[in-house]
Structure 1
Amino acid sequence: MTYLSRATAAAGAVLAAAGLLGAGPAHAAARDPFPGTWLYLTVTKGDSEAGGTYGSLLRCDPPRGHVHAAEACAELAAADGDIGRIPAENVICPMIFAPVTAHARGQWHGRQIDFRQTYANACILRARTGAVFALDE
């Protein structure tokens, strides 16, 4: 048989009440899993999700999580997070049709980013997006 003193019972009741008060409303907003500036980047071979996909999480405060994080973050900063505004490199790419689809989603300084573009081949992808989608090098 277990005996509880009045002090123990009162302390338990106070702790239970404090736990209920501290729990807050059940409908509290969910937190962002990656606060700050981040993009989840994927490249899919082919023009649909059926091809081989590889990806990386790019974080820019400080740059990390990506093979070329510092370079990709600098290019994005110069374009204010708009991947479509990254200046195209002046390169000659082969005229081989081997489509790749680039997808970026996340946030740039609090602004939601959702970018998706299919390019004729990986060379054109690299020329148009710089280091941002250079995930396999």
Structure 2
Amino acid sequence: MSVRTTAAAATATALLALSPAAAGADERGEGRVLLTVSGARSTWIRGVQLVCPGPGGHHPHASEACESLRLADGRPDALPRDSQAVCGREYDPVTATADGEWDGVAVSWRKSFPNGCALETATGPVFRF
């Protein structure tokens, strides 16, 4: 193999590694998570399965929810917060759960919030169903 051929092959390999398709291959963000929200003392409950990459499952905002979870590495406690939201002091507790798998890692999360607005502020589109 000539020096010129070797240099061309190395350049092509470097350009391929920098391409958006190659970058996307390294970017994780796959999962299947059952999401639920329930009212005080489980007086009501609703749930939906989120399959990512989205849209998938039956989540009405699957693409946005998948992107939020991808940014949080699949950890609901690390979801981007809505810093502009202002919630009232109404106490009507809700509990959110997320159970499944994200990028091959088990997800089992449960958290209570003082009201639906606090849930929305903390989790954005993930629990918006």
Establish whether TM, by shorter chain, passes 0.5: yes
Contiguous gaps of at least 5 residues in structure 2: 1-29
Would the alpha carbon gap of residues 62 and 131 (structure 1) be closer, same or farther in structure 2, given more than 3 Å must change?
closer
Give the distance between the partners of 1:51 and 1:115, measured in 2 at CA: 20
Aligned partner of 1:60 in structure 2 is 52
Contiguous gaps of at least 5 residues in structure 1: 1-35
Moved more, 85-94 or 122-131: 85-94
Structure 1 segments (4+ residues) deviating >2 Å: none
**Partner of 2:86: helix, strand, or coil?**
coil
Q: 2:100 aligns with which of 106, 118, 121?
A: 106
Give the distance between the partners of 2:88 and 2:54, measured in 1 at CA: 35
- Residue pairs, 1:28-67, within 5 angstroms: 37-46=31-40, 48=41, 50-64=42-56, 65-67=58-60
**Greater helix share, 1 or 2?**
2
Larger Rg: 1
Aligned partner of 2:62 in structure 1 is 69
Q: CA RMSD in A?
A: 1.1
* TM-score, structure 2 as length reference: 0.73
Number of residue pairs the alignment of both structures matches: 98
